[in-house]
Amino acid sequence: MQPYLAGMSQDDITAMLTATPAHGFSAPAEPGAGALVYTHDGAPPLLFQGLVGFDDTPLDTRGSDIIGRIALVVEGGTMTINTYAGFYS
């Protein structure tokens, strides 16, 4: 959020991270699939359609807000994180 709060637009931030991936953010594998992909430590990539949530104000936004519902399931000592994997439209 630092570049956004400093005045950069979402489009400029997306273009910057697409051209020069940083902090786990890069371009999606397929054009038109979304704005950015976030990958951490070999985990499956998370698709970001935008950087700021639709109902959020920049000061209240966290990176996880755009993902939607998140649930932690603990079963037999194994933790699984479930996220909304749909496409907002």
Structure-model confidence comparison of residues 32 and 87, the more confident one = 32
Structure-model confidence comparison of residues 8 and 88, the more confident one = 8
Residue type, 81: I
Burial grade of 9 (CB within 10 A; 0-12, 13-18, 19 or more): exposed
Looking at residue 72, its pLDDT comes to: 83
pLDDT of 20 higher than 60:
yes
Summarised one tens digit per residue, pLDDT across range 36-84 is: 888 888 888 888 777 766 555 666 666 666 666 678 889 999 998 877 6
- Rounded CA separation 27/59 (Å): 25
φ, ψ of residue 10 in degrees (nearest 5) = -60, -40
- Rounded CA separation 26/24 (Å): 7
Give CA angle at 17 (14, 23), nearest 5°: 125
Band the pLDDT of 16: cuts 50, 70, 90. very high
